[in-house]
Amino acid sequence: MAISAGEKRRVNGRPWLWNHIHLSILVLATGLLLSFFIGMGLYALAALGIPDISSVASYRPPTVTVFLDDQGEPIAEFYRERRYVVPVSAMPQLLPAAFVAAEDGRFYQHGGVDGWSVLRAMVNNLRSGRRSQGGSTITQQVARSLLLTREKTYTRKVKEAILAYRIDRLLDKEEILYLYLNQLYLGEGTYGVGAAARVYFDKNASELNLAEISLLAGLPQAPSRYSPLKNFKLAKARQRYVLNRMAADGYITPEEARQAYRRGLRWRTESLQDEAAGQYFVEHVRRYIEDKYGQEKLLTGGLVVHTTMNRALQQAAAASVETGVAEWAKRNPGAREKPQAALIAIEVDSNRVAAMVGGTDFTSSQYNRAVQARRQPGSAFKPIIFGAALQLVVTPADLFLDEPVKLPGNIPGQFWEPQNFSGDYHGRTTVWTGLVKSRNIVSIKLLQKVGIESVRSLAGRMGITAQLDDNLSLALGTSGVSLLEMTGAYNVFAGRGLYRSPLFVTKVVDQYGNVLENGDNQEVRRALSPKDAYLVTDLLKGVIAYGTGRSAQGLSVEAAGKTGTSDGNLDAWFIGYTPELAAGVWFGFDRNITLGEHETGGRSATPVWLDFMKKAISLNPAERKSFTVPKGVVFLPMDPSTGEIKTEKSPGAVDVAFKESLLPMVH
């Protein structure tokens, strides 16, 4: 039946206009309610304090600073969190797969939050009556690790889910895995797979095999509980679970899983810090890096520090020092304590410090006696005085009167009466004999001739920064200097008169590959002419061949050096060099007590130097055999007692180097 026009204005017995108004009110009310709930939801989100995720895209975590030796091998690590950042492209393909299979099987299907996993976790939690499972995806773990605390509250779980959803839309899956695999804690103080690979297996992450990968992938759930170093049975059980999950998800075959489970595992047995031989060297470099770049950069900046340490020479130096102290103990069986000793070795042409021992036991004393201690070098200082003299018109054949002297003391009315070590005097003595036999009176008279300021100036050019005495006792080495300074000064003689500041670090690179320094801050200057430097070298060759350094004989290459003994035998030194390597040795007690009545530089320090240099030469069989003689230097046969130039066949004559421009008279 048709409806009339008047009836059309009514619906369900109500006028059409009323129904229209009612509908409008309903729509408006619904809109208001929706706006209210949306507003309340936004307010709740704001109240939650959801962090900004922009920092996730520019991931810059704390990473390990590593020190390398001169061959590029690691010798030490410093860190707040032990982490090496590794790109996914540098990981074996099965490494990310193992973590996905073990931790988040639907990682590639969900959008950051896996509803099925959450539901399964809720059911299991209701059954157990406690929150035993969280259902967190890998993305949620990234959100929690980078942006949230680890508090176990529902509020944090809501934040975590929201952040995971946002991260999944900001980054692709590989980028999320990159964050996860470098951020997660894997036990034993390691963060990320890079550090875990090194600490557990002494490998780079790229070198891991399936057995090692599956064991690491079992750690995130409970790193301490499943650590193979603490509970191997539990670790293997967890490894079996990971391998089974990988097989079930099609990453590997069941047979590959079985083979990986049966494969043996080799653990790293020692840390880099256990390498005791180089601890003084490492600590010296650590101080340098911290002073220059700051502690935060050292511990979190991921620096790669290339050092000059030669590991083989470092181990040889430590062994030689240990042997020398043991030999001292045999000679002094009644001693209540053993002395300290230090050794430093420097490459002649580059002045790179190849080895440094700062004491006998780093664990009991970190005081570095090669660098920090300033002790009296005794006669080891004399070559600097002779070098200053040879710059003038002095020749090795010149004569000085070795006789008792009485000189004004530091206090008016008092006098200083120095003596030779033996207590004897020898009359007319050549400059050559004065150094070779280490005659104190000759050294004092030579200092008087050239002047104290001239010697102090040369010492400064040779790298000695210590405050030197402003009196004639300087000739006897009474001013405290460091072993590093003295060995560096001798390296000027070895290096044909050129001073280069000692180098411990050749390059520093930050975690982004930027070169912060490249060994270009080394100071270089001319301290002596090549001819004058060689004349001192020739004199120091005579010390070993004929004089106080005879116990240093026995090397297969030319060597030059000098002993030193301070007053009262408190310090024993030997500093010497071959064409390739300069090395210095110091012996003494920190408490400044005597080493013993007969414990001179020749007896205590020289055998350590010789033992070390023999090892060094064996490690470098291609070492140059002889010192390079510069142009303008000639050799003449000289009578060492009179300075007279003889014919080649004259008995007792010694070939001595002279500058061609300053020759003695021929007799």
Q: 252 and 105: one domain?
A: yes
Domain identity same for 186 and 120: yes
The reported pLDDT for the residue numbered 130 is 53
Q: Does the residue 33 lie in any domain?
A: no
Range with lowest mean pLDDT among 293-307, 461-475, 493-507, 636-650:
636-650
In this prediction, residue 270 carries a pLDDT of 61
User: How many Cα atoms sit within 13 Å of 625 on the Cβ side?
Assistant: 1
My answer on whether 261 and 323 are in the same domain is: no
* Domain endpoint, select from 227, 248, 265: 265
- We report the CATH number of the domain holding residue 99 as 1.10.3810.10
Q: What is the pLDDT of residue 153?
A: 61
**DSSP for 361-422, written as a single string:** -TTT----TTTT--B--GGGGHHHHHHHHHTTT--TT-EEEE----EE-SSTT-EE----TT
Q: Give the separation between CA 76 and CA 563, rounded to whole angstroms.
A: 35
Residues 393, 520 within the same domain: yes
Q: Is residue 216 part of a domain?
A: yes
Domain assignment present for residue 211? The answer is: yes
Same domain assignment for residues 247 and 325: no
User: Which residues of 193-321 form beta strands (DSSP E)?
Assistant: 304-307
- Give me the domain span that covers residue 574: 319-659
Residues 355 and 222 in one domain: no
Is residue 504 domain-shared with residue 620, that is, in the same domain? Answer: yes
Q: Which of 134-148, 408-422, 552-566 has the highest mean pLDDT?
A: 552-566
Q: Is residue 228 in a domain?
A: yes
In Å, what is the CA distance from 631 to each residue of 307, 524, 530, 666? 35, 22, 9, 21
Question: CA Rg, the chain, in Å?
Answer: 38
The predicted-structure confidence for 235-246, as pLDDT tens digits, reads as follows 999 999 999 999
Average pLDDT of 102-121? 83
Q: Which of 265, 282, 307 is the last residue of a domain?
A: 265
User: Considering only CA atoms, which of 534, 554, 540 is closest in space to residue 437?
Assistant: 540
Nearest to 471 by CA among 446, 496, 491, 452: 452
pLDDT above 70: percentage of residues in the chain: 87
Residues belonging to the chain: 667
pLDDT per residue as tens digits for the range 284-335: 999 999 999 999 999 999 999 999 999 999 999 999 999 999 999 999 998 9
Boundary (domain end) residue, out of 233, 249, 265? 265
Res 161: pLDDT: 86
In this structure, the answer to whether residues 169 and 95 fall within a common structural domain is yes
Reduced to 3 states (helix: H, G, I; strand: E, B; else coil), residue 291 is: helix
Q: What's the burial of 69, exposed, middle or buried (CB within 10 Å: 0-12/13-18/19+)?
A: buried
435 belongs to a structural domain? yes
Q: Are residues 432 and 565 in the same domain?
A: yes
**Does 414 fall in a domain?**
yes
The pLDDT score that the predictor gives to residue 23 is: 53
State the Cα–Cα distance between residues 640 and 206, nearest whole angstrom. 67
Average pLDDT rounded to a whole number, residues 227-232: 91
Does 503 share its domain with 438?
yes
- For residue 660, pLDDT over 50 is answered with yes
Same domain, 447 and 535: yes
More confident of the two residues 520 and 530: 530
The CATH number for 597's domain is 3.40.710.10
Over residues 22-30, mean pLDDT: 54
Task: Specify the range with the lowest mean pLDDT, choosing from 51-55, 330-334, 642-646.
Answer: 51-55
The number of folded domains in the chain is 2
Q: Is the residue at 36 inside a domain? A: no
Average pLDDT over residues 644-659: 90
Q: Are residues 506 and 438 in the same domain?
A: yes
Domain presence at residue 91:
yes
Of 370, 384, 393, 345, which is closest to residue 527 (Cα–Cα)? 384
Cβ atoms 75, 272 nearer than 8 A: yes
pLDDT averaged over every residue in the chain = 89
Question: What confidence tens digit (pLDDT) does each residue in 606-619 have?
Answer: 999 999 999 999 99
